[in-house]
Amino acid sequence: MADSTTPQARRSQRPAPGRPADDHPVYVIGGGPGGLSVAAALRARGVRAVVLEKSDRVGASWRGHYDRLRLHTTRRLSALPGLAMPRSFGRWVARDNVLRYLEKYAEYHELEVVTGVEVSRLERTADGAGWLLHATGGRELTGSAVVVATGYNHTPHLPDWPGRTAYTGELLHASDYREPSPYAGKDVLVVGVGNTGAEIAVDLAEGGAARVRLAVRTAPHIVRRSTAGWPAQRSGILCRRLPVPVVDRLGRAIAKVSVPDLSAHGLPRPDTGLYTRVRQGAIPVQDVGLIDAVRKGRVEPVAAVESFDDDKVVLADGTRVGPDTVVAATGYVRALEPLLGHLGVLDGRGRPRVHGPRTAPEAPDLYFTGFTNPISGMLRELARDAGKIAGAVAKRRK
């Protein structure tokens, strides 16, 4: 794919007034909300930032999400630095409006965005003063610093279930699901009860699927997206710095008065506390119709998937089911190992050991954003990280 830049990117290649050209800019890998917000924050501090995006437009991961998707965080608490989201988007912003906002954001801040360029490997420069980026077409780019913003939802993860490759039914990852009409009248099994799986199950049930089952390995915490006008996100912001046991107790008390007990329908209340689960990487499911769908029998929780056997799916309780389609809402992996696994900056699960304005001692001037999934809202934390990273970079350059 050839390199391309947006008109605003071409304009931004000129140095800001009073600032000399910078032969070694800060390279930002990834043109999603994390990368764009860091680039804007850097530019506001007079630091040249070049965003490298492997697809042909910004917001690539958002373009791959299902049509029904809306932010579970409020419009006002989801804006990136320097540009509010329009009031016309409503409180819960739709996916297409998020994309419009990201495109406008790059234009408004005159960001230097280069598309069609994928970075395959990072190395320190020979003099140890910067970073060498190996990119599409044999390019070698030298940057004074690098910000990795390739995203939490980077590469779809499909578990290696026994018998999966010989399965004769239709199996797709949630990243390939768009809308329910192709599954009208069909028996569909959705695997995974995170926010994506829960919402796809509801979408299928409302969109005409004959039967929708939801395979659950661990019962999730379910919270109302908003209660009496108070969004769950604000509770997450207030609770984020509290001790884990305190938040667990608060979450348990709130759930008892706001969320009905669905044990009789196959979704018992979790034994583990809400914030304990968050610290383990499991974000609560925000209800956008799942509770009613389960109570009315339109979505049937079943046991977890254990294996596949020809045209059947074998569940953990021994049940064998034969859905027409299996939608695996089984998450994503960060896929950072090829890019920088050799630098010693990843933990045992392939996640960056440092985040935000901090850098690893063995990798100075290498920053990461967007690799956590906080209860206070991903976009809000990306916005906060952007300012911190830009401040750290500007301080280092001085």
Burial of 116 by CB count in 10 Å (0-12 exposed, 13-18 middle, 19+ buried)? middle
Residue 16 neighbours by CB distance under 10 Å: 13
* Helix, strand, coil % in the chain, rounded to nearest 5: 30, 25, 45
Residue 332 neighbours by CB distance under 10 Å: 17
State the Cα–Cα distance between residues 34 and 334, nearest whole angstrom. Answer: 14
Backbone angles phi, psi at 365, to 5 degrees: 65, 25
Structure tokens at 143: 């940057």
Does residue 111 contact residue 41 with C-beta atoms inside 8 Å? Answer: no
What local confidence, expressed as pLDDT, does residue 372 receive? Answer: 87
In this structure, which amino acid lies at residue 343?
L
CB contact set of 55 (below 8 Å; sequence gap of 6+): 31, 115, 116
The Cα-based distances of 126 to 70, 123, 132, 137, 239 in angstroms read 46, 9, 9, 21, 46
Q: Give me the CATH code for the 4-154+334-397 domain, please.
A: 3.50.50.60
Structure tokens at 21: 């050209």
Does residue 222 contact residue 285 with C-beta atoms inside 8 Å? Answer: yes
Domain borders along the chain are 4-154+334-397, 157-328
Backbone angles phi, psi at 49, to 5 degrees: -125, 135
Q: Which pairs count as long-range contacts for 268-271, CB under 8 Å and 24+ apart, including other chains?
A: 268/219, 269/219, 270/218, 270/219, 270/220, 270/221
Of 269, 275, 239, nearest to 255 (Cα)? 269
The predicted model scores a pTM of 0.90
Architecture of the domain delimited by 157-328: 3-Layer(bba) Sandwich (3.50)
Do 4-154+334-397 and 157-328 show the same overall fold? Answer: yes
Reduced to 3 states, what is the DSSP secondary structure of residue 41?
A: helix
For the chain, the C-alpha Rg in angstroms (whole number) is 22
Per-residue pLDDT of the chain (398 residues; tens, 9 = 90+): 344 444 444 433 333 433 334 578 999 999 999 999 999 999 999 999 999 999 999 999 899 899 999 999 999 999 999 999 999 999 999 999 999 999 999 999 999 999 999 999 999 999 989 999 999 999 999 999 999 999 888 899 999 999 999 999 999 999 999 999 999 999 999 999 999 999 999 999 999 999 999 999 999 999 999 988 899 999 999 998 899 999 999 999 999 999 999 999 999 999 999 999 998 888 899 999 999 999 999 999 999 999 999 999 999 999 999 999 999 999 999 999 999 999 999 999 899 999 999 999 999 999 999 998 888 999 999 999 999 999 999 999 87
What local confidence, expressed as pLDDT, does residue 9 receive? Answer: 43
